[in-house]
Amino acid sequence: MAAAGVDLLLVTDANHIYWLTGAEDWAFYTPLYVLVSAKHSMPFWYGRAMDRPGAQMSTWLDADHVIGYPEDYVQQTDRHPSDHLVGVIADLGHARSAVGYESESYYFSIRAFDHLRKGLPNARFLDCDLLVNRLRMEKSDAEIAYMRDAAGIAARTMSHAMELIAPGVRQSEVMAEIFKTQIAPDERFGGTITGLSPIILAGEKAATAHPAWNDDKFESGQTIALELGGARRRYCSGLARTMHLGTGLPDEVRRTEAAVEEGMQSVLECLRAGIEAQDVHAAWQKVLDRHGLKKDSRIGYGIGVGFPPDWGERAVSLRRGDNTILKPNMTFHIILGMWMEGWGLELSETVRVTTAGFECLTQFPHGVRLKG
Amino acid sequence: MAAAGVDLLLVTDANHIYWLTGAEDWAFYTPLYVLVSAKHSMPFWYGRAMDRPGAQMSTWLDADHVIGYPEDYVQQTDRHPSDHLVGVIADLGHARSAVGYESESYYFSIRAFDHLRKGLPNARFLDCDLLVNRLRMEKSDAEIAYMRDAAGIAARTMSHAMELIAPGVRQSEVMAEIFKTQIAPDERFGGTITGLSPIILAGEKAATAHPAWNDDKFESGQTIALELGGARRRYCSGLARTMHLGTGLPDEVRRTEAAVEEGMQSVLECLRAGIEAQDVHAAWQKVLDRHGLKKDSRIGYGIGVGFPPDWGERAVSLRRGDNTILKPNMTFHIILGMWMEGWGLELSETVRVTTAGFECLTQFPHGVRLKG
């Protein structure tokens, strides 16, 4: 905060709020923030009064650091929770402070910001987008342990989904079992929903990256990619694999599979602390060029705590031009998605960067699985 | 739009985008908008290039009305998809137009708006928050049919969850079955996840409105409220009911149940087109006062299309001061939630307003269910 030049940081991203305080309830669909003040050693939870008891139970904050706004500020046209927040910020001694805010948070609206600025004319607002995202990048041992558990959930879910997928089975039936397995994978512990929704890319829908599932039945001859994950205590690990319903792979699928497999090996071989994010992409691009294939999009991003709608941390992307230096215990979802004309193929791993190389958190066989 | 005084409306809420175009993919975690132009009879989908094929498959729009921004605008610090959108808006002839935007959309960020304003210095931006929300309130017959299906999914899910809940069973195990039933309720059709996550309020966690589920085991003597729903083609119906693990209800639960039951009857008796939203609340308040109970929060809201994180339409609340006049085919989730000290109780119905009264879309027995 000192480096960012702010005395008060208004944290509005649900992922950051959980990471800072443990607040995990589904309370972020109305304004819910955490206030980090240079004048106070403990942050403040600020949300709807009806959600206050939940915050007291789920966070490590003292009761007087859990502040609720009255119900009559909720979803009104003539007032906003920001109007109430103005008084709270003034009481904390920050009416004339430099206040940091997140300019690209799903849960801090233009209107919320407008009302706050109007109510605090003597404060100075500074865009602190990505400040907390960057702090989250290097994981602690406890966070890595959760992500390992999450990767285990993802593998179990992938395995179960692939067992179920067969000609004549509906996408929705498989998706129902995917969610069930994610949330109750085995007797050890439960999971949660992942930030990014599980995705089934089947048939021509596999030509697009994020199709909604439906009641279509899987058909013989379809190439089917699954992008799904696991989440343990909101820490997500992603996993994508591809299968083909048939006795042999079409030539185009086989050729693309070979390129993607080689690309993944090349990416993993170069991965270690000290290199730049774009170096990882360059390793992939070299393979892709040799195979005469084309892919515009990035091949990965930082991953961690993920409430809907996303599990990406947004601070680093594995792509050309991103010169972020990789550090030990950064975690990435490396996703090689090839969305072709009328079909598609995906292969991904969730990895932890180490000094010597990497640890692959996800453990699931490679290769397009044939199911005849 | 003419009434709002705008020539171009920038629709950014994922629910509105689906309602207008049918775009249902999980593509809204990066900027995804619909442009409604007074100069064009068909709206434009505007999103990430990799999601363009999906939009072509799921919407009714012509191919030249589905516009993708290049991948190198995604999650960058030095540029934003808004910078590219500026050119699209100029090409549509709206660089000097009155442009309506949504100031409280999860998916239109402060930064997105800043870049757009900077790029279009001659445009005039008008806050059109709730404009589309209000258009969505009165449902068509097709929408009502989906909500009836959704209510059926909710009832089936509630029934299944209540069968499973017993002392020693983990919350996560029940939640896994809740999601499974929501997505594959029976052989007729599949469902989707609901905008609001399903919620288990058990034991002391029932004192708060939106607790996250965990691995705690249900215990004998607990009062357990479930707030869940069903969604068919993204149309949500909500349903809340309460059960008690034991052979008899504690006095406090019995007294609160009687008040809430009487309150619901009173609410439903007054419900019909032509009254004001606050009249519904007044009917509830009268009963609550007679029972000497207190509840600060609203008792319902418009409900319909719901992508995470919410299924409320935000345009109308059933509470004191909301003088919106109810019209036929408006749909509401009436939720009587009593979050007490250390326990809680909920009862809800999703209803359609009619000229003569109402149709209750949800069909599930009332009363706190005892399971000894």
Q: Is the same domain home to B32 and B181?
A: no
Within-domain flag for A3 = no
**What was the pLDDT predicted at A35?**
98
Distance from first CA to last CA of chain A, Å, rounded? 58
Helix (H) or strand (E) holding A362: none
Are A234 and A192 a contacting pair, CB within 8 Å? yes
Q: Is the same domain home to A173 and A319?
A: yes
Minimum distance, in Å, between the CA of residue A304 and any CA atom of chain B? 16
* Residue carrying the six token digits 């870049």: B115
Residue A283 banded pLDDT, cuts 50, 70, 90: very high
Within-domain flag for B3 = no
Within-domain flag for B183 = yes
Q: Is the same domain home to B155 and B97?
A: no
Q: Is the same domain home to A157 and A84?
A: no
Within-domain flag for B2 = no
Q: Is the same domain home to A85 and A155?
A: no
Say yes or no: A208 contacts chain B, CB-CB below 8 A. Answer: yes
Q: Is the same domain home to A306 and A292?
A: yes
Q: What is the pLDDT of residues B74-95, one digit of tens each?
A: 999 999 999 999 999 999 999 9
Within-domain flag for A207 = yes
**What is the residue-averaged pLDDT of chain A?**
97
Chain A residue numbers with beta carbons less than 8 Å from the beta carbon of B184 are 170, 172-173, 175-177
**What was the pLDDT predicted at B61?**
98
Within-domain flag for A1 = no
Within-domain flag for B50 = yes
**What was the pLDDT predicted at B342?**
86
Q: Is the same domain home to A321 and A343?
A: yes
Q: What is the pLDDT of residues B2-24, one digit of tens each?
A: 888 999 999 999 999 999 999 99
**What was the pLDDT predicted at B272?**
98
Average pLDDT over residues A84-103: 98
Among residues of chain A, what percentage have pLDDT more than 90?
95
Query: Is residue A205 scored above 90 in pLDDT?
Result: no
**What was the pLDDT predicted at B80?**
98
Q: Could you tell me which residues come within 8 angstroms of residue B214 by beta carbon, excluding any fewer than 6 positions away?
A: A190, B171, B172
**What was the pLDDT predicted at A206?**
86
Q: Is the same domain home to A297 and A179?
A: yes
Q: What is the pLDDT of residues B48-73, one digit of tens each?
A: 999 999 999 999 999 999 999 999 99
Among residues A110, A136, A162, the one where a domain terminates is A136
Query: Is residue A204 scored above 90 in pLDDT?
Result: no
**What was the pLDDT predicted at A267?**
98
Query: Is residue B311 scored above 90 in pLDDT?
Result: yes
Minimum distance, in Å, between the CA of residue A184 and any CA atom of chain B? 5
CATH code (residue B281)? 3.90.230.10
Within-domain flag for A40 = yes
Average pLDDT over residues A215-232: 97
Among residues A83, A107, A136, the one where a domain terminates is A136
Average pLDDT over residues A194-220: 94
Say yes or no: B205 contacts chain A, CB-CB below 8 A. Answer: yes
**What was the pLDDT predicted at A341?**
86
A327-336, B47-56, B203-212, B325-334: segment of lowest average pLDDT: B203-212
CB environment B350-361: b (16+ within 10 A), e (fewer): bbbbbeeebeeb
Helix (H) or strand (E) holding A126: strand A124-127
Distance from first CA to last CA of chain B, Å, rounded? 57
Are A351 and A268 a contacting pair, CB within 8 Å? yes
* DSSP code of residue B5: T
Say yes or no: B26 contacts chain A, CB-CB below 8 A. Answer: yes
**What was the pLDDT predicted at B203?**
84
Average pLDDT over residues B183-194: 97
**What was the pLDDT predicted at A234?**
98
Average pLDDT over residues A18-36: 98
Q: Are residues A309 and B50, on separate chains, in Cβ contact within 8 Å?
A: no
**What is the residue-averaged pLDDT of chain B?**
97
Chain B residue numbers with beta carbons less than 8 Å from the beta carbon of A50 are 208-209, 296-297, 339
Average pLDDT over residues A180-190: 97
**What was the pLDDT predicted at B204?**
84
Tokens read off for B303: 């409900």
**What was the pLDDT predicted at B83?**
98
For A203, half-sphere exposure in the C-beta direction (CA atoms, 13 angstrom radius) is 12
Phi-psi region of B167 (alpha: psi -120 to 50; beta: other; left: phi over 0): beta
Average pLDDT over residues B186-197: 97
Chain B residue numbers with beta carbons less than 8 Å from the beta carbon of A231 are none
CATH code (residue B114)? 3.40.350.10
Tokens read off for B217: 């085991």
Q: Is the same domain home to A67 and A166?
A: no
Q: Are residues B176 and A180, on separate chains, in Cβ contact within 8 Å?
A: yes
Q: What is the pLDDT of residues A287-342, one digit of tens each?
A: 999 999 999 899 999 999 999 999 999 999 999 999 999 999 999 999 999 988 88
Q: Count of domains in chain B? A: 2
Domain that holds residue A247: 141-371
Among residues B110, B136, B162, the one where a domain terminates is B136
* Residue carrying the six token digits 């939640």: B175
Q: Is the same domain home to B265 and B367?
A: yes
Contacts 24+ apart (CB under 8 A), A41-46: A43/A11, A44/A88, A44/A92, A45/A17, A45/A21, A46/A85, A46/A88
**Regarding predicted confidence, which is higher, B340 or A167?**
A167
**Regarding predicted confidence, which is higher, A341 or A349?**
A349
Chain B residue numbers with beta carbons less than 8 Å from the beta carbon of A21 are none
Q: Is the same domain home to A293 and A241?
A: yes
**What was the pLDDT predicted at A200?**
97
Q: Is the same domain home to A185 and A225?
A: yes
Alpha helix (H) ranges present in chain A?
14-21, 52-58, 81-91, 110-119, 131-136, 141-164, 171-183, 251-270, 277-290
Average pLDDT over residues B347-362: 98
